[in-house]
Chains A and B, each alone.
Chain A
């Protein structure tokens, strides 16, 4: 019995353990204008219920689990079930209450609006 079989056997013995998913950072695009910060994250194969978006103490964390079932034998596999995880620091000026998230065609879209106080303001000069 070679080493790989030995390890497989050990794995089988250990029933309680579930195979951990690999954590992968999703590819993101980040844009900003005066109103908001816009984040796009590629998470193909992840459904809405398996995504979580949290903002806590200035950290935005997104995570999504891809659960695709395999039927048939694998001829080759370039992607498998993963957990997409990524954390960002967000400025305190983000209005956490108004953050919106949308999932479309495997792309997570996050709108992080800036709070009123943080928006640039034009100051009118009065003539004396």
Chain B
């Protein structure tokens, strides 16, 4: 007789674990940063053209992740001055993969449908490899992305090599772009030269990522 209870228990324990998994997203688990020098969190996302991109699929290439929100004044600073687009074009010439990621939830600033995302790309004359749509904030939370722009670089072996800001001038003033030290460019230079990134963790500045709930 006790054994009956026992077998039921094995079965329902599984059921409970399923429920814990379903409920895993609540209450809000906040964004914890990944660790530079450790494997970057693996993700799969869909871009504005319906294509699927997985980080794993880019093994062998350096990947830049750029959190963006086209309505954020800090993002505007870097697109209005062509700073971001120039960096994207240069990176892609170096065979780097560049994924822009939008983690704004529906109804919040920066949220875009696939069509709107493509319109923004055209409008900005931007040149990332793809723009991933992350309205649930899954990828954002995985990386602990806090602001837009928030930048990450994953090495060709899947190791996280850089996380932080786009540059060292935490302002929304467009003219500061000229005098800023672009951390991402510097980190890519280090990586492409086969060396260690000299400033692997920097301060990210910008608008808060507009996560869901």
Chain A bound to chain B: no
